[in-house]
Chain A
């Protein structure tokens, strides 16, 4: 089955800096890669996703890149703000309507 590795497990940045979180996956059949943000005690919230026919996708301060050959994808947050502090999870799926396999999570701390 699919295995998703996520790094780093914790990341501390200064407000205004950029943050990058990286994930690798094992199943070459995976074709959908969402990112979720989870604040303490809250539900995982879908913030951005990318499908395998696209190399990059951007939504305001958040961008995701995908390298299918290397089987890795990354989340980029620019101009970080204290409210970006949360745990971020990457995930992979091999088809629409199929289960998600999650990475272990990254705790992002943005210092004011």
Chain B
């Protein structure tokens, strides 16, 4: 167990809908990263938050957004869902500036039908 938690574990929804994925980092970790893992794309970085502020953006679609709250948990919002958004969504956390290691949560499997 990495200490990173994610909910829900599974999510099945229809095209055009909106969902919210939640992540709680390890105790004391300030950075949260979101990654998408699909069959043909491997693990792709989406976005990073550090202590409540957006720090880096990767290949994140405009239909997707995220935020990090004062208690350091983070939410990833996916809207106008398409079939191609079906994937595993992982969050990872690391302690602070100067900390390299990232620890992954168990992931949320999103299925868009």
Residue numbers of B with Cβ under 8 A of A are 2, 31, 33, 35, 42-45, 48, 50, 55-56, 58, 90, 94, 96-107
A83 to chain B, nearest CB (A): 18
A16 within 8 A of B: no
Q: Which residues of the other chain, A, contact B106 by a CB distance below 8 angstroms?
A: 42-43
Task: Give the distance in Å from the alpha carbon of A103 to the alpha carbon of B42 in the complex.
Answer: 8
Which residues of the partner chain B approach A43 to less than 8 Å between Cβ atoms? 2, 90, 104-107
- The complex places the Cα of A93 from the Cα of B99 at a distance, in Å, of 12
A100 at the interface (CB under 8 A from B): yes
Do A96 and B99 have beta carbons less than 8 Å apart? Answer: yes
Which one of B31, B99, B101 contacts A34 once the chains associate, using CB atoms below 8 Å?
B101
Contacts of A32 in B (CB 8 A): 100
How many residues of chain A get a CB closer than 8 Å to chain B's CBs?
23
Q: State the A residues within 8 Å of B (CB).
A: 32, 34, 36, 42-46, 49, 51, 89, 91, 93, 96-105
CA distance A40 to B56 in the complex (A): 29
Contact B2 A97 (CB under 8 A): no
- In the complex, which residue of chain A has the Cβ closest to the Cβ of B59? A1
Residues on B with beta carbons closer than 8 Å to the beta carbon of A44: 43, 90, 104
Distance of A5 Cα from B94 Cα, bound (Å): 24
Which residue from chain B places its CB closest to the CB of A44 in the assembled complex?
Answer: B104
Could you tell me if B42 and A99 are in contact, using CB atoms closer than 8 angstroms?
no
Q: In angstroms, how far is the closest chain B Cβ from the Cβ of A1?
A: 9
Pick the contact of B100: A89, A93, A103, A105 (CB < 8 A): A93
In the complex, what distance in Å separates the CA atom of A46 from the CA atom of B99? 14
Q: Which residues from B are CB-within-8-Å of A100? A: 33, 35, 43, 45, 102
Q: Tell me if A104 and B50 are in contact (CB < 8 A).
A: no
Q: Chain B nearest CB: distance from A35 CB in Å? A: 12
A33 to chain B: closest residue by CB = B100
Q: Separation in Å of the A22 CB from the closest CB of chain B? A: 16
> What 5 pairs between A and B have smallest CB-CB spacing?
A102-B43, A43-B104, A99-B45, A32-B100, A96-B100
A43 to B56 CA separation, bound complex (whole angstroms):
22
Closest B residue to A43 using CB positions: B104
CB distance from A16 to the nearest CB of B (A): 30
